[in-house]
Amino acid sequence: MVLKQLVGIVIASVGVFVYFFVIVYFDYIKSVQSNKYIDFDVRTVTAGDYSVEFDIKEETYHNW
């Protein structure tokens, strides 16, 4: 009985450590990709960088 409990504890502990490793790894990959996206956005110039957006009321649009 003690051997079964020990095996169960070891398996549960390994499962918890694998879970934490995967969570930390995914968070790391998310952070790296976020930094790469910001770096790409800073290095590239698009029309959106020089565009101006303003809201037009629906009444103004329909009066034309």
Distance CA 23, CA 21 (A): 6
DSSP-assigned letter for residue 50: S
- The domains of the chain are located at 1-41
Listed as ranges, residues in the chain with pLDDT below 70 are 63-64
pLDDT of residue 4: 94
Q: Is 46 helix (H, G, I), strand (E, B) or coil?
A: coil
Quote the CA–CA distance of 48 and 37 in Å, as a whole number.
Answer: 16
CA–CA distance, 27 with 42 (Å, rounded to integer) = 23
* Per-residue tokens: 20: 């934490």
Separation of alpha carbons 35 and 31, rounded Å = 6
